[in-house]
Structure 1
Amino acid sequence: MKRLINLTPSKPLALALGIIPFFLIAVIYLVNSNARLAENPNDKLLPPVSKMVDAMERLALEPSKRTGEYTFWADTANSLQRLGLGVLIAATVGLLFGIFTGSIPLINAGFSPLLTILSLIPPLALLPILFIVFGLGEISKVVLIVVGITPFIARDIQRRAQEIPSEQLVKAQTLGANTSQLLIRVLLPQLMPKLIDSVRLSLGAGWLFLIAAEAIAATDGLGYRIFLVRRYLSMDVILPYVAWITLLAFIFDQLLAFANRKLYPWHAQGGK
């Protein structure tokens, strides 16, 4: 008799098992929504699907009377622009800090303790400071994302750099490689797929910091819209927006995974 821990589902069974939890959540929601609406037709906590569809059609397909923009798409574009810029800067800075502190002992001794301390500071606690220093515009929102996820990326790349076998560095040096050549031709190619993995892991935190910044000081964006309509208990808008954010996060995660497999197939094979 096989033990449960040794049973591996086939691909069709794995797909079915993955769908079942979502199906159960939908059923639980519909049952509770119908029950609440039966008691109170004006209940806003669990709106029917039809009401959410109507709200999203209004926001996505009808231009705003105030701005003329399609609110849903404008919110999405503005949030993605902030998130993309913040993640790009964080990945670049994190890669540089990580590769230098992870491979050069003198830099490690000077900056590794600082990096550790910075990673322990709650980024949201810095939000008032960022607003004071950078104002309430776009810069402060992007900086919050950068401050929030850069230490994680940097420390992960630092650890990955330290895991590279020293034999590779010794062999390269015996062939005449200098420090810059070691960094660019030996370490960097091996760390780039690790960087993509780090970015994937930090995206959830990036979304958190984006939503927090938009909720406090913004005039557009997905986070701004959610916190704007909460005062009216507009769950027919909040729930679809949350679902949309989740879908976007999933799509970006899969795109990064796909890019990693295509650009660095040896890394994907080694991870199996």
Structure 2
Amino acid sequence: MNNISTLQKKASRCLSKKVDMPMSPVWHMGKISKFASKGDHKLMQDAIDYLTCKAQNKLSFNDDDKEFLVELYEAFWWGGKYKGYHEAAQLAKHYVHGNGASVKLNPEIYKNIPIVSATIQTMKTFIQEKQSKGIISFDMRCDNSEFRTKNYVKKLFLMNFKTEGKMKSNGVLEAPQKNERVQKMDSHFYLKSQNTKINKSQTRTIWSIESIYDFEPFEKADYYTIIPLENFPLHLPDGLSQYMETLGIAKSFVYGTSWIEIW
């Protein structure tokens, strides 16, 4: 009886926040960005907060609620394309329309990042050390524990995280803060290599970066995504984005890239 009473109280609190779902999120977000419209910002944030409350308490979502969330992610696509965040836009749209299929990105988006090119060079040194010991074919990732103990790897931890990116203590690579195109897509990732010595002087390496486009549920973390709309950003809880999968209107997926180098 107490549990039922608690649920009823939570439901009542959510219902007290009830708002009509904005029918065109991209239009309202455009007004927020272009005209700094406080009214449109309140309308959008109130809708997000109301649906967040419903998701946290596992209340039912009607068709308007679901349509709003899908159109919100479609609005991210339009906004991302407009601001030049092409990959982030592509991934956001794929979350609600890709049905879980994997996405292959252009490798150039990663290859030109200073921390990636620097990590490649240090990994090559490590690969050559292994080959000198007779290990002809092997795979490794940048968080390899033996690799991270090498003196020549220390420079990766000391790189300028704002302009170059850096390697964190656990071996994950952090994209440069000033590279907003990558930051909006994937701020932390691992670089993997599949290496085969093909003759006395050459090695064939398949470099790859792979991530999962998903979100932490409310029960695990209180994360949120800031949607930058000039002076009036919107706050979208990751838990609500994750709950879209429960509702059957979104699906997580694997994305990444790979390229072959003979060196």
> Under TM normalisation by the shorter chain, which class is it?
0.3 to 0.5
Higher relative helix content? 1
Higher relative strand content? 2
Between structure 1 and structure 2, the one with the greater Rg is 1
TM-score where L is the length of structure 2: 0.38
TM-score where L is the length of structure 1: 0.37
